[in-house]
Structure 1
Amino acid sequence: MSTVDRGAQQPGQQPGQQPGQQHGQQHGLVVDGKLRRVLGTPSLVLFGLAYLVPLTVFTTYGLVTTETSGHLATAYVVTTVVMAFTAVSYALNVRAHPSAGSAYTFVQRTFGARAGFLTGWVLMLDYLLLPMINYLVIGLYVNAQFPSVPAWLVVVVAVALVTTLTVVGITVVDKANVVLVGVQLVFAVVFVAVVVAQVGGADAPSLTAPFVSDELQWGTVFSGAAVLALSFLGFDAISTLSEEAREPRRTVPLAIILTTALGGVVFIVLSWASQTALPDWRSITDPDSAGLQVMTEAGGQLMASAFLAAYIAGCVASATASQVSVARVLFAMGRDGVLPRRLFGSLSARFLTPVGATLVVAAVSLLALVIDLGTLASIISFGALAAFSLVNVTVIKGYVVDGGRRSPRDLALYAVVPAVGFLLTLWLWTNLTALTFQVGGVWALVGVVYLAVLTRGFRRPTPQLAVDHTP
């Protein structure tokens, strides 16, 4: 997709019509419109880090720490290694397909429209639910610190705030991310410094216990690592902004790699510090809000209050970034005609953002009022790992099989790396719970049924995403 010259009349544009509206305007919405390219590499990395949430360690801290018998840090090392391979596959795919559809586009262009649709459908599972998990933990943590404030009220207020930000536009989100990510990183540095200052004492815990101890069981570590896949959805989300990035074939792949590397380091360091501050995992009283207990142990009530403020900032940043991303995936599918075009495939004439898709995501996010954290985290990881596995395969098919890239160097980059990524993500995927597979299986079955209806029993072709590429 080429950059629009806003001072010139475009092909098909009527006299007096604003650029970007030549595809038709209905009631303030730009149908089949184009997103604006305003993001560079730093903004994309900030977006990815906002999506990851540097403090997301505490979203599943209690759940995974108890699951792994106190080896959260080891689980994060495993997940980081797996995600590194998959991040390379995403970066390679973006170079070939720089559009807003992410894995939906990658699989569609490589394996066909039906495979693309089903991938997009599975991808929507984690994209739709990731904003919800942020709203859920905001409610849980605020209620844990201030029991008189009902969690449901906090959730509703947070959904309204984030939805407003995402409707107003990507540049507002970009500016908000600078502040929200900065607050988290400052707190993370202070927290780690406080913990490090305490480890020199006579009663200091073992520095290696968060990684290796007599209680280490690799089976539970792998199960925990599978759940932690949701923590790395930020690098995947960056690819959904390819139509709003400058020089997307260069900036987006670089941002994907940088975000994955930085996120992994931050997660491992914070998980180590957290388990060092609270070495006895059996003393966790409430797994859903165990981060407050860690902070109280590390620095008293003052540290706990500072953590709550920084953590809420992080959750708002992640909810904003994830809501922006899923709205653009839905926009890509709506513009394609896979989803109702009038609702999903239209842009606001004023803000040039997909308002209809954004409001649908906000409505789904209100399910945070009725779902529990453990189930939600596992279901999100189901969708993420399924999409990650397919993206790894598309690199092999697109570059080696179809593209003929078969020199020793090409085979190492385009075959070996994605093959390892595929096997590792598939391995983590199989470590999720049976309930997760039941929910994910039902979602996939609904997608197949919807596709059958959409194509009149598979007799009609599946609509394909039509996006021009920018070099």
Structure 2
Amino acid sequence: MSSSPATSATLTRTLKLPSLVLFGLAYLTPLIVLGIFGVIAQQTGGASASAYLIALVAMLFTASSYGRMAKAYPVAGSAYTYVRRTIDGRVGFLVGWAIMLDYLFLPMVIWLIGGSYLQAQFPAVPMPVWILGFIVITSALNIIGIQIADKANLILMSFQILVIAFFVALSIASVVRTDGAGGLFSSGPFVGDGVGFVGIAGGAAVAAYSFLGFDAVTTLTEETVDPKRTVPRAILLVALIGGGIFVVVAYVTQLVQPGGTFASPDTAAFDIATKIGGNLFGAVFLAALVIAQFTSGLAAQASGSRLLFAMGRDGVLPKRFFGALNSRLHTPVLSILAIAVVGLIAMFMNVATSTSFINFGAFLAFIMVNTSVIVYWAKERRAGRAHNPVLYLVFPVIGILVIAYLLAQLDLHAITLGSIWLLVGVAVLAITTRGFRVQPPELAVDSAE
């Protein structure tokens, strides 16, 4: 399988706003709101709708900052690129290294969760078989090309949204049967059982994990038509639509099952699905969860491979491997396969262990993107170019404070592992930059018209 030289590596522009929004929503996996509903409802005392509403507002500040940077630097690479361009190449490298935790290991976690669901239903089939199935099919679709993956996302997301719509409709019908139409209007899903703001804020920190990936569309910038206009819009739409779905679903689900007490918080949504729609809908709901994992894995692998491609094209990672595009398919095949290999680790891990540290890199990247917007605003101001201080200063400062709080909510195990990973990155940077004396290689593509 031949690849074009890294020096002429360019991606093909085919994606428009609907495709980017679809990709971002696939990465978010809207159905995850039900997968972790019981955990959030338990922590908030039944105020899960408030938790998601707070998380949505918090994420919008960072989404705005991603939009500002995507407009200023419309190239693949996301947070890694933005920090390199505005602050310093060495800091950018460390951000890219940190966020690799999210991009490299998130697909593995997604495939592991999907395999766990299937293995629980079909115990005769070994877990590695399910994981290999996820990896092979997902990798093949991403290698063939982002347009094919885009069409697969459309079909799979349509099914996922259909199941969510049925869940909401059946929930509403269940509430009306029990409490009448008036039961649809309640403050319960927002105030809970009196746990107070601290409890709800803690739930919001967990709920914010559902939003991880709204920024993933920035990694497809070089495959987007009119990226300076399209990508910022897509980022905000993904956050708004995804957050809207989360709030509505959490609200109606909490109406069906008020409070935060469940036989098993981890499987609360399964029990509720069976309660409102019977065993048949329960089976459909389970199928939708598995398909949601596949859809999310498809988007996560595509996004992660673009980050590796950008870093490889810079020469930060081995250029001949990561910075190469397939000459016929024009996709970063080797980067896609690298993420597939990492996914094989899922065969030897459990869900709790694998998810313990992936959020560290994402939150660090969010903080640094907000910081980049502030630095960019200051540089532009010194150059005599004015930008809206609310969008370029006030919003980023709020974003930094909010995300720093969420980062502090990670358990000690996650922070420890994330810090170790970051220290390894510092060591690699020290070697490649001769003791931090020189900058890492510059991006091969500085702008995209």
State whether TM-score is above 0.5: yes
SS in 1 for 2:249: helix
Give the superposition deviation at 1:280. Answer: 5.3
State whether structure 2 residue 431 is matched by structure 1 residue 453: yes
SS in 1 for 2:190: coil
| Residue matched to 2:269 | 291
| Residue matched to 1:93 | 69
Task: Name the amino acid aligned to 1:268.
Answer: V
Q: How far apart, in 2, do the equivalents of 1:350 and 1:162 lie?
A: 19
Q: How far apart, in 2, do the equivalents of 1:365 and 1:446 lie?
A: 21
Question: Identity of paired residues, percent?
Answer: 42
Task: Name the amino acid aligned to 2:366.
Answer: F
State whether structure 2 residue 227 is matched by structure 1 residue 248: yes
Asked whether the 8 Å contact 2:380–2:386 carries over to 1, the reply is: no
Decide which of 319, 324, 349 is 1:341's aligned counterpart. 319
Give the superposition deviation at 1:353. Answer: 0.8
| Residue matched to 1:157 | 133
Q: How far apart, in 2, do the equivalents of 1:38 and 1:157 lie?
A: 28
Asked whether the 8 Å contact 1:75–1:225 carries over to 2, the reply is: yes
Q: How far apart, in 2, do the equivalents of 1:461 and 1:355 lie?
A: 28
Residues 442-468 of structure 1, C-alpha deviations (whole Å, 9 max, x = no match): 111111011112223223431122213
Bigger RCO of structures 1 and 2 (CA < 8 A, at least 6 apart): 2
CA gap 1:169/1:422 in 2 versus in 1, 3 angstroms: same
Q: How does 1:316-327 map to 2 (within 5 A)?
A: 316-327=294-305
Q: How far apart, in 2, do the equivalents of 1:443 and 1:284 lie?
A: 37
Range with bigger deviation, 203-212 or 342-351: 203-212
Q: How far apart, in 1, do the equivalents of 2:143 and 2:271 lie?
A: 36
Task: Name the amino acid aligned to 1:214.
Answer: D
Q: How far apart, in 2, do the equivalents of 1:405 and 1:299 lie?
A: 62
Decide which of 101, 125, 131 is 2:101's aligned counterpart. 125
Q: How does 1:52-451 map to 2 (within 5 A)?
A: 52-202=28-178, 207-279=186-258, 281-285=260-264, 287=266, 289-404=267-382, 410-451=388-429
Q: How does 1:9-48 map to 2 (within 5 A)?
A: 27-32=2-7, 33-48=9-24
Give the superposition deviation at 1:168. Answer: 1.0
Range with bigger deviation, 85-94 or 297-306: 297-306
Range with bigger deviation, 371-380 or 253-262: 371-380
Range with bigger deviation, 30-39 or 440-449: 30-39
| Residue matched to 1:13 | none
CA gap 1:88/1:430 in 2 versus in 1, 3 angstroms: same
Give the superposition deviation at 1:411. Answer: 1.4
Asked whether the 8 Å contact 1:50–1:234 carries over to 2, the reply is: no
Give the superposition deviation at 1:407. Answer: 9.7
CA gap 1:229/1:126 in 2 versus in 1, 3 angstroms: farther
CA gap 1:133/1:298 in 2 versus in 1, 3 angstroms: farther
CA gap 1:27/1:201 in 2 versus in 1, 3 angstroms: closer
Asked whether the 8 Å contact 2:60–2:239 carries over to 1, the reply is: yes
CA gap 1:455/1:211 in 2 versus in 1, 3 angstroms: same
Asked whether the 8 Å contact 2:163–2:288 carries over to 1, the reply is: yes
Asked whether the 8 Å contact 1:399–1:405 carries over to 2, the reply is: no
Q: How far apart, in 2, do the equivalents of 1:299 and 1:152 lie?
A: 32
Aligned residues: 445
Q: How far apart, in 1, do the equivalents of 2:109 and 2:377 lie?
A: 36
Asked whether the 8 Å contact 2:45–2:260 carries over to 1, the reply is: yes
Give the superposition deviation at 1:409. Answer: 7.2
Q: How big is the alpha-carbon RMSD for the aligned residues of Structure 1 and Structure 2?
A: 2.2
Q: Which runs of 5+ in 2 are unaligned?
A: none
SS in 1 for 2:325: strand
CA gap 1:152/1:221 in 2 versus in 1, 3 angstroms: farther
Residues 120-168 of structure 1, C-alpha deviations (whole Å, 9 max, x = no match): 0111111112212221221222233334344332222111111111111
Residues 216-236 of structure 1, C-alpha deviations (whole Å, 9 max, x = no match): 243343333323333223321
Asked whether the 8 Å contact 1:162–1:319 carries over to 2, the reply is: yes
Q: How far apart, in 2, do the equivalents of 1:406 and 1:303 lie?
A: 61
Residues 310-366 of structure 1, C-alpha deviations (whole Å, 9 max, x = no match): 222221111011100010000000010100112211111121111111111111122
SS in 2 for 1:109: helix
SS in 2 for 1:211: helix
Q: How far apart, in 1, do the equivalents of 2:373 and 2:232 lie?
A: 14
SS in 2 for 1:58: helix
Residues 159-178 of structure 1, C-alpha deviations (whole Å, 9 max, x = no match): 11111111111110111111
